[in-house]
Amino acid sequence: MDLALTDEQRMIVDIVRRFVREEIVPLEDDLDPDADELPPEQLAKLVDKVKEMGLYGLDTPPEYGGPDINLVTRCLIAIECSQHRAGLYAPCYYAFGGARQAQLFEATDDQKNKYLYPMLEGKKRVFFGLSEPSGGSDPGRAIQTRAVRDGDDWVLNGTKLWISGADRADYGLLFARTGGPGRTGVTAFIVETQWPGFNVRRIVHTLRSAKYATEIQLEDLRVPHENILGEEGGGFAIANDRLSRQRVPYAAECLGVAIRAHEMAIEYSKIRETFGAPLSSRQGIQWMLVENEIDIRQARWLVMDGAAKADRGEPFRTESAIAKLVASEAAGRVVDRSMQIHGGLGVAKDLPLERWYRELRIRRVGEGPSEVQKHVIARDILGASLR
């Protein structure tokens, strides 16, 4: 695989890198170290600049107005966009358009008019409601929320956990069991958050003080039959598609943070002196930097391999799992070493390293923990025998 960038990719990387360093990083001097959003007016100005760059709506297909870029380029952009304090979970504060619920591109025309297009125009917010207290990585078995048909409606009861943005969303994709156990018993519904029976009960506090997850209780929530997304019993495929699709850019974001932390460590090791010599002259520090470099190069190769396979239309489930596994764990190690090189400054809120350290720990769990990625990889290596 050739990792050399095309002229167009090089130009895009340069533009985005300049945008991050000139427009985003300076803003953070005045924000709380754990901030994850900007005032709407400030964000709107950044969005206008991104639109001028032709890069707004990165996860939107070209036929719906998104930029015509492949996944490799998408990952190159993700690597750049995450290189600031809030960049891991709020890359450029969503000036590039934020996360899309890609499943809605498969919706019916009526559903698109009501839900998809307002989302693309930024008028409606959406959440993704898959995980439950019983788990999220194995939706075929874990989902216990029940949906029972009642005339033209379905009545939903159950609890959803770890759901981001549900308290601020206008609607969401919510998965419930409409049939028996297993994958074919799960259906995806489009649910409006103002409907009676939809209740966000609490915020789930974590290591991360910026974005939060929520717990949702569904109490006799009535959903019209026409709000089923896809086929009845087809929810697992919709959920699984999302989990695979997200993993490569997710890995790329980890990589971007690792690159920036490593750069900071290199710079600091050259200027910080101990016992009359710069840190960079110490073998102990040099080896940490070498290990950072190797971690980053390995992760970059695997992220780009996964993206390139997806762009060629080849199966990439195993590659996306490897990329997510390696990049999230490597980035954690890189930031940890970079903090060590910075000493006390590394753990202070003056620098972004401590925030990245906390948030990268979550990355080893979010979007499928490392062990689930290994399970996916093992299943593909061993064929179907582990199913």
Residues engaged in binding another protein (CB under 8 A):
32-37, 39-40, 165-168, 193, 199-203, 205-212, 214, 217, 349
Cα 307 from Cα 245, distance rounded (Å): 10
- For residues 243 and 351, which CB has a smaller minimum distance to another protein in the complex? 351
325: Cβ contacts below 8 Å, ≥ 6 apart? 370, 373, 374, 377
- For residues 166 and 174, which CB has a smaller minimum distance to another protein in the complex? 166
Annotated active-site residue 367? The verdict is yes
Least distance CB 40 / another protein (angstroms): 6
Closest CA to 332 of 267, 246, 254: 254
Characterize the bridge pairing of strands 171-177 and 228-229.
Answer: unpaired
Instruction: Give the count of beta carbons closer than 10 Å to the beta carbon of residue 32.
Output: 12
User: Helix, strand, or coil here: 147?
Assistant: strand
- For residues 171 and 236, which CB has a smaller minimum distance to another protein in the complex? 171
Least distance CB 361 / another protein (angstroms): 14
- For residues 37 and 232, which CB has a smaller minimum distance to another protein in the complex? 37
- For residues 102 and 362, which CB has a smaller minimum distance to another protein in the complex? 362
Least distance CB 171 / another protein (angstroms): 13
Least distance CB 137 / another protein (angstroms): 24
Instruction: Give the count of beta carbons closer than 10 Å to the beta carbon of residue 209.
Output: 15
157: Cβ contacts below 8 Å, ≥ 6 apart? 145, 146, 218, 219, 220, 221
**How remote is the C-alpha of 356 from its chain's centroid?**
14
HSE, CB side, 13 Å, CA atoms: give it for residue 82.
27
Cα 159 from Cα 199, distance rounded (Å): 10
Of 52, 291, 367, 371, the catalytic one is: 367
Least distance CB 39 / another protein (angstroms): 7
Cα 380 from Cα 226, distance rounded (Å): 36
Kindly list the catalytic residues: 367
